[in-house]
Amino acid sequence: MADRNPGTGGLQRAGVRPPDPHPSGAKPPDIPPELVPRHVALVMDGDGRWARKRGLPRTEGHKEGESSLLDVIMGAIELGIPYLSAYAFSTENWRRSPDEVRFLMGFNRDVIHRRRDLLNDMGVRIRWAGRRPRLWRSVISELEHAEQMSAGNSVLTLQFCVNYGGRAEIADAAAAIAADVAAGNLRAGKIDEKVFLLWQSAYAELVFLDTLWPDFDRRHLWHACEIFASRDRRYGGAEPNPVPAPQDPDLQDLRP
């Protein structure tokens, strides 16, 4: 059974641990439920710049970003956002220095292990999106274990994008479709946008905030959602421009 949690916008089952309140006492904005985004994707950018401004190694920025992610997850639950994706390691991040790549692999693995019980207690379902090749087996193991233990949760679905890239996903989808066609499981004439393109990002709204990820918290998420809710979304349609009614020249002389 699912109920609305008093003080939050999300649905939760009985016995689920509510999110911790923000230290400032901030409450989520009063956004009409129909205007709350169903899926928010977070590009956790700025860890290195945050650390450089403070004369610290880049790894310290990554460490500081862990608490930001946890706070944003709690804020998403409070606002009633059902799906949250966090870009933790992209397919392009392999270009970074070997030392930073090793740190990020171990850090992502440890964050998932360290936070999975708390997330599970809050009713968060954990999913993984990304490629297996090159990814550490220990990272895959933690992701899969977190997926299994949280599979029955429904308050919020948190998707960790680890070794993920948009172009990589398209390439993998094309390869899978080609294999299905070759195996006779799919007719080439049945391939259309619904089985190929990245429909989950169709008509996505982009919001850019001038805040480095380690300084980000649920209040920034809420502000971004307010911006989203204020936008006029027409999905390719348009309303006619108002045009003044034409004046009848024969009536001009009748004016007093």
Q: Is 45 a catalytic residue?
A: yes
User: How do strand 83-90 and strand 39-43 relate by DSSP bridges?
Assistant: parallel
The answer to whether the beta carbons of residues 26 and 19 sit under 8 Å apart is no
Q: Of 45, 110, 121, 180, which one is the catalytic site residue?
A: 45
Q: Which of 3, 5, 47, 93 is flagged as catalytic?
A: 93
* DSSP-derived secondary structure for the chain: -EEEPTTSSSEEETTPPPPPPPTT--------GGGS-SEEEEE---HHHHHHHTT--HHHHHHHHHHHHHHHHHHHHHHT--EEEEEEEEGGGGGS-HHHHHHHHHHHHHHHHHHHHHHHHTTEEEEEES--TTS-HHHHHHHHHHHHHTTT--SEEEEEEEEE-HHHHHHHHHHHHHHHHHTTSS-GGG--HHHHS-GGGTTPPP---S--GGG--HHHHHHHHHHHHHS---TT--PPPP-PPPP-GGGGGG--
Active site residues: 45, 93
